[in-house]
Amino acid sequence: MVESNGDRPGRFTWWLLAAVVSTVALAWSGVLDTLSTEYLDGALIGSGAIYATARGINALVSVLQGTEMNAFVITFTIGELLDPVNDLIERFSGVMLVALGSLAMQKILLEVVSHATFNGLLTALGLATILASFRGSPRVYRPLARFFFVTVIVRFSLALAVLANSWADVIFLEQNETEQHELMKGFEDELELIGSRAGLSADLTDDIEMVQEAIARNRQTQRAEQQELDLHREQLERMENELDAVDKRTIIDRLMGNSTAAIEARQQDIEQLEAAIESNEYTLAALVESAVALQDRLECLERRARGDTCTLADSMVRALAGVDVRNRIEALGDQVDAFTANLINLLMSLVLKSILLPILFLYLLLRLARTVWATVQ
């Protein structure tokens, strides 16, 4: 890579310098990491909602299992008609846990590779590689360049794979997933309606306690996040005041972009704090949205525990007779095939975007990196 004659070494060294500086700047800016994290947060929330719906259907079917209704002379068991749904939902929930685990693992790994320590290692290797290139020492330069290249791949490959996955998700999968989840919730609503018409009321004490605990944890997390946001805002205000005190440049110097090392250091600290504040605000907004959903869920569970219903349609048909319940169950049975197909399509879509596509894009990126590696050897 480093040559000792002609004008090519000089051009190559300056190209290397530009590439290293750009790469290090991109790493410290955290742009790719922020976009990737936002997508993973949204995917976790959406997949979690689907999982919650699946567990809700499973709980409703479990309540209906073994329940006998008398439609005039005929006695029938509601759960018998829903056995296929129950088996499918249990398997769906198991795979969904794997998908959610994959998304969570991607987020954790992204936090690891985007940590300041990793960025510091990348910066140090970049500087060492540039110095070795300027000194014209191939024996020192080559191992450093290889180490730097590997570090760049580790640093950016996951974020790029997640962003590629988000692009595929938005274009090809998101709309269908939304429609399929709505159909799934419609099936859940129908089961709730059947349960209420059959006069069933499940013991919801554990569910209520779980939601209450989730609300308490949400509030605690909100307080901690708000305290961190307030602290970052105070630090930002202090740093801006310090910058104003240090910055003695004239208007012409500022327009020309002239600066000093001290000013640039403070400006970089301010930019990092602004990014942290933006992240705090985004997290707080997500927590508030989650708190509203949890509160709605708690109110609905408490109404059910009292024997009430969550929707106006449920309360209007509360007193239907057993024959109506049987007819509704049989009508629902006719929808089982469509529900099964919809559930399988939804599951495949979630597995594709949470497991298979990230692996595929990561593999393609590594293959590309391997090709580049072979080219520069």
CA distance 284 to 226: 7
Put simply, whether the predicted model's pTM sits higher than 0.85 gets the answer no
| Residue that finishes a domain, picked among 306, 323, 340 | 306
Domain shared by 29 and 130, yes or no:
yes
Total domains in the fold of the chain? 2
Same domain for 53 and 115, yes or no, is: yes
Q: Specify whether 175 is located in the same domain as 252.
A: no
CA gap 178, 318 in Å, rounded: 30
3 located within any domain? no
Identify the domain boundary among 260, 283, 306: 306
Domain extent for 168: 9-201+312-376
Q: 87 and 343 in contact (C-beta within 8 Å)? A: no
State the residue for tokens 């970089």: 268
Report in angstroms the alpha-carbon separations of 264 from 188, 239, 244, 276: 57, 12, 12, 18
Quick one: which of 229, 106, 79, 113 has its CA closest to 164? Answer: 106
In a domain, 128, yes or no: yes
Six-digit token pair at 202? 């499940």
SS3 147: helix
Same domain, 26 and 164: yes
Instruction: With respect to residue 144, please indicate whether it lies within any of the assigned structural domains.
Output: yes
Question: Considering the domain boundaries, does residue 261 fall inside one?
Answer: yes
Residue 77 is classified by DSSP as: E
Are 222 and 284 in contact by the 8 Å Cβ rule? The answer is: yes
| Percentages of the chain per state (helix, strand, coil), in multiples of 5 | 85, 0, 10
Distance in angstroms (rounded) separating the CA atoms of residues 139 and 145: 11
92 and 173 share one domain: yes
One domain, residues 53 and 184? yes
Q: Based on the domain organization, do 252 and 356 belong to the same domain?
A: no
Q: Which amino acid is at 318?
A: R
Do both 44 and 114 map to the same domain?
A: yes
Contacts (Cβ under 8 Å, ≥6 apart) of 87? none
Residues 125, 143: contact at Cβ < 8 Å?
no
Residue by residue, pLDDT tens for the chain (377 residues) are: 444 444 444 677 788 888 899 999 999 998 999 999 999 998 988 888 898 888 888 888 877 765 555 444 444 556 666 777 888 888 888 898 899 899 999 999 999 999 898 899 999 999 998 888 888 777 888 888 888 988 999 899 999 999 999 999 989 888 888 888 888 888 888 887 777 666 555 556 777 888 888 888 888 988 888 998 899 888 888 887 877 776 555 555 555 555 566 667 777 878 888 888 888 888 888 888 888 888 887 887 777 666 565 655 444 444 444 556 666 666 676 677 788 888 888 889 889 999 999 999 988 888 888 887 766 55
Whether 284 is in a domain gets the answer: yes
Residues 355 and 273 in one domain: no
The secondary element (H helix, E strand) that includes residue 70 is: strand 68-71
